[in-house]
Amino acid sequence: MHPGGLEPKNQRLRALINRLHTTDCAIDNETLEGILAFGEFSVPHLEAIIKTALQKSARANLLEPRANTDWFVVVHALYLIAHLRSHESLDIVLTFLAQKQTVLDYWLLDLLDEDLWEIPFLVGSEDLSRLERFVLERKNNKFSRLAVCAALVQVALHFPEKMNKIVEIFEQALLLTHEDPDFIGLVASEALDLKDARLKAAILKALETNSVFEGILSPEDVELAFRKTGPRKITPVGLFDKYDYFRDHPYFSKTAAPAAKQFEQLRKAVKAVS
């Protein structure tokens, strides 16, 4: 084959992908940029990383602290898939995010409750029905469901034509039964970010019906939010900026919201019943 043909390109891509397995958040931008430059040809390799992680999760007892850098390879794969806008990868991304708490703690650590919304936002905005099913399925990881709720809010704010459907999704989510009250309170908090008057009554009813702790969200908070604040529209951080932040502040979010403390309360509650 000609030196400039397909095989040397495949070798180059495989070499770039191999670097993801050996370097954590200190990985260089050139590697990330090189993988992005291959576009859709990178996607099967990145999905294979997630599939391998799923297989490892099923057969291994994943414990901290981590003995090697390979755990971060999933973070690489998820963010690269997201920034390649690989909508076709949504199913495998959500399958990974649906896993139990101890597994996601191993692979994602603090990213689970701080940064994760960006990924379903970037790959899932074209398939609201799939995101809806994920949120409404009680078996799925609670933190991941909340991250998808946060993504849905941002989809609605960035793409107003999708607002009606997303309001309907939150109306259903607020009616869920047999859920942890803290979880319902956090779903209501996400719904509140839409500042859509159609959801106000549903939010207030959910707080009352589920006896939600007022430290998470109170009726007074709801009234105040509708009077004084507008929607909190957020743009996902660019990939290279994200990694700059990873290098400087490992495991902490550049776009973390005050809800992080509320997520921590829920994390403790989930672990207590796991």
pLDDT for residue 173: 97
DSSP of 71-134: GGHHHHHHHHHHHTT-GGGHHHHHHHHTS-HHHHHHHHTTHHHHTTTHHHHHHHTT-HHHHHHH
Q: Which residues contact 212 (CB under 8 A, 6 or more apart)?
A: 181, 182, 184, 185, 188, 206
The number of beta carbons lying within 10 Å of the beta carbon of residue 154 is 25
| pLDDT tens-place string over residues 78-116 | 999 999 999 999 999 999 999 998 888 888 877 766 679
Residue 266 vs residue 122, higher pLDDT:
122
pLDDT confidence tier of residue 77, bands split at 50, 70 and 90: very high
pLDDT confidence tier of residue 253, bands split at 50, 70 and 90: very low
Residue 157 and residue 125 in contact, taking contact as beta carbons nearer than 8 Å: no
pLDDT confidence tier of residue 274, bands split at 50, 70 and 90: very low
In the chain the beta strands, taken as DSSP E runs, fall at: none
Per-residue pLDDT at 63 exceeds 80: no
Average pLDDT over residues 9-15: 93
pLDDT for residue 249: 72
Instruction: Output the average pLDDT for the chain.
Output: 86
pLDDT confidence tier of residue 64, bands split at 50, 70 and 90: low
Average pLDDT over residues 13-27: 92
What span, in angstroms and rounded, lies between the C-alpha atoms of 37 and 44?
A: 14
Per-residue pLDDT at 44 exceeds 80: yes
Average pLDDT over residues 56-76: 70
pLDDT for residue 2: 43
Average pLDDT over residues 18-46: 94
pLDDT for residue 117: 95
| pLDDT tens-place string over residues 204-232 | 999 999 999 999 999 999 999 999 877 78
pLDDT for residue 111: 74
Per-residue pLDDT at 60 exceeds 80: no
User: Which amino acid, one-letter code, is at 92?
Assistant: I
Residue 5 vs residue 94, higher pLDDT:
94
CB-based burial label for 58 (10 Å; 0-12, 13-18, 19+): exposed
Q: What percent of the chain has pLDDT over 70?
A: 83
Enumerate long-range contacts of 237-244, CB under 8 Å, 24 or more apart. Answer: 237/118, 238/83, 239/32, 239/36, 239/79, 239/80, 239/83, 240/29, 240/32, 240/33, 242/79, 242/115, 243/25, 243/27, 243/29, 243/32
Per-residue pLDDT at 252 exceeds 60: no
Per-residue pLDDT at 180 exceeds 60: yes
Ranges 4-8, 185-189, 226-230, 261-265, most confident: 185-189
Average pLDDT over residues 2-20: 81
pLDDT for residue 1: 41
